[in-house]
Amino acid sequence: MKSHRKVLTFHIPTRIGFVNITPEVAAAVAESGVSEGLCLVNPMHITASVYVNDDEGGLLSDYERFFEELVPHEPTARWRHNRTGEDNGDAHVKRQLMGQQVVLAITAGRLDFGPWEQVFYAEWDGRRTKRVLVKIIGE
């Protein structure tokens, strides 16, 4: 069995943002030398999501609007977590609703995706550097 670990780093300049990280994950798969296996893509921070969906600008703005309306950032006093002095209580909720992480199949040395599947990093509390772990096992 082979394994491979890679950490990706992101710094989103806004509070909320979405990045298509498929090229970085595909590069980690290529580096791993794994032909058949599984690839976990997991944010190492708990106010971010990793998810699989379409790379279409209207959809990304739908996500931002929908989750902001359902889980509003303000008034920040709404969230008891913010009594710690942070203001990201909403981001901890949004991250759960959107999706914590994904596991991707590797077949014949490549991400085994349908035609529209793309891996995204979703930032819910940006303006600082954050990491995503890619862990691959297989043979």
Interacting residue ranges for a second copy, rule: CB under 8 A: 1, 3, 5, 36-38, 40, 42-46, 51-54, 56-59, 61-63, 66, 70-71, 79-84, 89, 92-93, 95-105, 107, 112-117, 131, 133, 135, 137-139
Contact 48, 102 (CB under 8 A): no
Residue 25 CB, nearest distance to a second copy (Å)? 14
Half-sphere exposure of 88 (CA within 13 A, CB side): 16
- Minimum CB distance to a second copy smaller for 30 or for 103: 103
Residue 115 CB, nearest distance to a second copy (Å)? 8
* Residues 6+ positions from 57 with CB-CB distance below 8 Å: none
Taking the C-alpha atoms of residue 76 and residue 70, their distance in angstroms, rounded to an integer, is: 14
